[in-house]
């Protein structure tokens, strides 16, 4: 009862203009626009709530015409809150989700600000003597929080529609959180020093020198690149800080096409190959939702694979395997998997390697098999975020990202033999579905 009254009050406050009106006209002049259209190849998509659906040329004009050019980011955040509250307060699990998501997003947003603060104290971030958070940074934070809410709303809608289960809240690995927080805060200075001096070749002496050249670097300026136990322990936490606590939420969009596939085929004997699994990422969600699914995880980093295995020891009843290897030379037979899942790999590959990997994906999938490709949104997907896409590779050492955001994924995968199907967007992530005919 008390919870419901509290939520009703929040809703009423947000619906009223009490907090909002005085700042509105000032903010309107200052803040960025929000756009809601997505282009893939020569096809245009509109974002409707949880899904991105293809729209006709006529609708496209209407949709683009509807783009809220008079909206500012404060308005967008308020709207996101309203939508979020409306969505979560209608479902029985909603209050739990609301609390979990709030804790998670707040925690990782604070971590990201603390990271900046530490760096700032060391006088490394900016040259100016002015203290406090700049207007630009506030703008970024407010805009990001709005985006996080929208992503969480999509996530919760998917849970309500039954696409996947409500994950344990707010994080599965509470016992890992404290050490990871300390490690992150200690490490952040080293990352910033590397960033300032553009040092990206600081990886440990390699036992196995077989790693490709493009891989032997400090992606994201992170300590040891992908090549140490230390890096593997920190990775998930750093990704959550980068995405304000919604990295898992965005990854979970991949479970929507998987649900559709599993429910139109027999799951008995179904095999899924998870390429570039990192330290697991979506693996817990896969194992919890599909205990019968046979999952093979592959990554080039033995350290990340080991960490993934450690984190998923609890799923001992499920068929989960870990294999070390390269995506461009997959160590599997032709036509051996029903589903191939690939998350956040292509933006870290040189263009020629992307083509090889697409062909390998095609080779190992069975006819009728599905590829769920998940990576960053690209240029033109969200015109309001184009600037962010330009800045990201400089701040996070992502040398192949600029070419990735310009790549026509439809052409890339169709050239390998695939037929393209749906697209789903969640803030900075897009999920593209392809089939092997």
Ligand X SMILES: C[S@@+](CC[C@H](N)C(=O)[O-])C[C@H]1O[C@@H](n2cnc3c(N)ncnc32)[C@H](O)[C@@H]1O
Q: Which residues pair with 47 in a beta bridge?
A: 52
277 binds ligand X (CB under 6 A): yes
CB of 220 to ligand X, least distance (A): 8
Cβ-proximal residues to 172 (8 Å cutoff; 6+ apart), any chain: 284
The yes or no reply on residue 327 touching ligand X (CB under 6 A) is yes
Contacts with ligand X in 330-369 (CB under 6 A)?
A: 343-345, 348
- Rg over alpha carbons for the chain, rounded to the nearest Å, is 22
Nearest approach, Cβ of residue 426 and ligand X (Å)? 13
Cβ closest to ligand X, residue 78 vs residue 104 = 104
Which among 244, 358, 255, 236 is positioned nearest to 304, based on CA atoms? 236
Going 215 to 216 to 222 to 228, the CA torsion angle's sign is: positive
Verify binding: residue 326, ligand X, rule CB under 6 A: yes
Residue 278: CB minimum distance to ligand X, A: 3
Tell me if 203 contacts ligand X by CB under 6 A. no
Does the footprint of ligand X cover residue 311 (CB under 6 A)?
no
For ligand X, give the closer residue by CB, 76 or 232: 232
d(CA 317, CA 246): 28
Given 248, 285, 299, 398, the residue binding ligand X (CB under 6 A)? 299
- Counting Cβ atoms within 10 Å, is residue 208 exposed (0-12), middle (13-18) or buried (19+)? exposed
How is residue 356 written in tokens?
């090889």
Return the number of the residue (11 or 306) whose C-beta is nearest ligand X. 306
Does 276 bind ligand X (CB under 6 A)? Our answer is yes
| Among positions 84, 184, 215, 290, the unique one binding ligand X when judged by CB under 6 A | 215
- Kindly state whether residue 372 participates in binding ligand X, applying the rule CB under 6 A: no
Q: CA-to-CA distance for 216 and 225, rounded, in angstroms? A: 7
Does position 307 bind ligand X by CB under 6 A? no
What's the min distance (Å) between Cβ of 63 and ligand X?
30
* 404 lines the binding site for ligand X (CB under 6 A): no
**Contact status: 301 vs ligand X (CB under 6 A):** yes
Cis previous bond, 170, omega within 30: yes
CB proximity list for 90: less than 8 A, separation 6 or greater: none
In the complex, the smallest distance separating the C-beta of residue 326 from ligand X, rounded to whole angstroms, is 4
In angstroms, the first-to-last Cα distance of the chain is 54
Pairing between strand 337-343 and 365-376?
A: parallel
Of residues 111, 107, 129, the one with CA closest to residue 120: 129
Does position 300 bind ligand X by CB under 6 A?
yes
Q: Which of 304, 401, 418, 427 binds ligand X (CB under 6 A)?
A: 304
Considering the rule CB under 6 A, would residue 281 count as an interface residue with ligand X?
yes
The SS3 assignment for 313 reads coil
Whole-angstrom distance, CA of residue 184 vs CA of residue 151: 24
Lookup result for tokens 């191939």:
340
375 binds ligand X (CB under 6 A): no
Distance of closest approach, residue 256 Cβ to ligand X, in angstroms: 16
In the bound state, the residue with its beta carbon closest to ligand X is 278
- For residues 80 and 238, which CB has a smaller minimum distance to ligand X in the complex? 238
DSSP secondary-structure letter at 124? Answer: -
Q: Strand (E) positions, 328-411?
A: 337-343, 365-376
Binding to ligand X in span 225-244, by CB under 6 A: 226, 239
Footprint on this chain of ligand X (rule: CB under 6 A): 215, 226, 239, 251, 276-278, 281, 299-301, 304, 326-328, 343-345, 348
């Amino acid at each position: 009862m008390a919870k419901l009254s509290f939520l009703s009050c929040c809703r009423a406050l947000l619906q009223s203009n009490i907090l909002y009106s005085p700042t509105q006209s000032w903010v309107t002049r200052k803040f960025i626009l929000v756009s809601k259209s997505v282009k893939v190849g020569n096809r245009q998509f509109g974002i409707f709530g949880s899904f991105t659906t293809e729209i006709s040329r006529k609708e496209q004009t209407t949709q683009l015409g509807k783009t809220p050019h008079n909206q500012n980011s404060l308005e967008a955040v308020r709207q996101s809150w309203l939508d979020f509250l409306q969505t979560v307060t209608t479902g029985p699990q909603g209050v739990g989700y609301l609390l979990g998501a709030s804790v998670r997003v707040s925690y990782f947003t604070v971590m990201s600000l603390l990271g900046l603060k530490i760096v700032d104290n060391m006088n490394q971030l900016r040259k100016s003597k002015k203290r406090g958070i700049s207007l630009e940074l506030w703008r970024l934070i407010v805009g990001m929080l709005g985006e996080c809410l929208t992503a969480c709303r999509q996530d919760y809608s998917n849970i309500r529609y039954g696409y996947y289960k409500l994950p344990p809240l707010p994080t599965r690995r509470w016992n890992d959180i404290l050490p990871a927080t300390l490690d992150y805060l200690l490490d952040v200075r080293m990352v910033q020093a590397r960033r300032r001096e553009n040092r990206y070749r600081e990886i440990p002496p390699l036992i196995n020198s077989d790693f490709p050249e493009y891989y032997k670097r400090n992606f994201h300026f992170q300590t040891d690149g992908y090549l140490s136990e230390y890096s593997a322990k920190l990775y998930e936490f750093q990704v959550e800080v980068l995405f304000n606590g919604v990295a898992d939420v965005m990854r979970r969009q991949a479970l929507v096409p998987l649900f559709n596939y599993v429910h139109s085929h027999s799951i008995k004997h179904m095999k899924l190959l998870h390429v570039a699994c990192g330290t697991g990422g979506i693996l817990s969600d896969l194992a919890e939702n599909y205990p019968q699914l046979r999952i093979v995880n592959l990554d080039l980093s033995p350290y990340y694979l080991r960490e993934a295995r450690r984190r998923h020891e609890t799923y001992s009843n499920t068929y989960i395997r870990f294999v070390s290897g390269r995506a461009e030379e997959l160590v599997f037979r032709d036509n051996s998997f029903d589903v191939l899942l690939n998350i956040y790999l292509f933006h870290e590959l040189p263009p020629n390697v992307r083509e090889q990997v697409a062909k390998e994906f095609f080779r190992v999938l069975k006819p009728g098999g599905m590829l769920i490709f998940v990576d960053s949104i690209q240029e033109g997907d969200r015109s309001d975020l184009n600037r962010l896409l330009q800045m990201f590779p400089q701040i996070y050492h992502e040398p192949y990202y600029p070419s990735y955001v310009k790549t026509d994924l439809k052409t890339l995968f169709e050239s390998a033999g695939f037929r393209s199907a749906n697209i789903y967007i969640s803030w900075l992530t897009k999920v593209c579905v392809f089939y092997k005919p």
